Amino acid sequence: MVMLRAAVKSLLKVRVMDFITSTAILPLLFGCLGIFGLFRLLQWIRMKAYLRKAVVVITGATSGLGKECAKVFYAAGAKLVLCGRNGEALEELTRELTTSATKVQTHKPHTVTFDLADPGATVAAAAEILQCFGHVDILVNNAGISYRGAIMDTTLDVDKRVMETNYFGPVALTKALLPSMIRRRQGHVVAISSVQGKISVPFRSAYAASKHATQAFFDCLRAEMEQYEIEVTVISPGYIHTNLSLNAVTADGSRYGVMDKTTAQGRSPVEVAQDVLAAVGKKKKDVILADLLPSLAIYLRTLAPGLFFSLMASRARKERKAKNS
């Protein structure tokens, strides 16, 4: 009986190999591979053409993910307008970019210094941005601030500060630049959100709220701008190894000043910037750039909310115990 099974298995293997290597199947397989390869090549060429000489505005360009995005968009041949609060840091980044070796024709970046948390400064900055190259092709809303604290300890001023920087600032800048995009029927708005714009983590209330608002606003914007052929991309990274947690505000508005373990173990901003470039170049609508566990948590929140809430409550108890110990 054992010998019979082995003989049948061997015969099946031979038949399968004969089927695969038959004159009918091999050309089909190679044809499919060829079509797929051609599709990827055309996609790559289209992405390169889309980014080359495009006027790209990047907020929060002086450090972290914003700085790395500036580098990859510059290397792709984009015309950059770098924005941030620190004018000296922007000039230093400009010098770094213009002295770097690239494979394509590059353009000297412009810089615009302003604070996103100041609505008046944001409107004035939008006019200055438009004067740089006459229009904007791609707006990357990257600037942001993080937060650490318990809800009951947090002043309303801190909640407002986080919302001003992470939500109202990008919204104001986007609204100020949209009319010029609509007139040209061309433009691309990018919002760097967060996984915490899709799920909420304890002791991050102000940050999670600002990112949930960001996700909702730009989802609405995508639908409303479709008639004008304006693209909208929301990118939600997980933890990135930057100074975001170090510069986070606490419940009383002071600087957190601690590199969280999750942040220290996060993805390199260089890698994430490459993913942002690819997502923009491919005109993707909604992108999650996170490891397996955060990605699963997003689906768990939808498919098994009770379990998700229990896990978050457990996490809150552990963090509270660690803080009090």
Residue 184 Cα distances to 123, 135, 169, angstroms: 20, 9, 24
Strands (E), 130-229: 138-141, 187-192
Cα–Cα distance, 93 to 315 (Å, whole number): 39
Q: How far is CA 286 from the centre of its chain?
A: 9
Per the residue annotation, which of 50, 74, 147, 207 is the catalytic one?
207
CB atoms < 10 A from the CB of 40, how many? Answer: 10
Instruction: Return the closest-CA partner of residue 290 out of 188, 201, 159.
Output: 201
Cα–Cα distance, 221 to 232 (Å, whole number): 7
Q: Which residues of 224-260 are buried (b: 16+ CB within 10 A; e: fewer)?
A: ebeeeebbbbbbbbbbbbbebbeebbbbeeeebeeeb
Q: Is 207 a catalytic residue?
A: yes
DSSP 231: E
Catalytic residues: 207
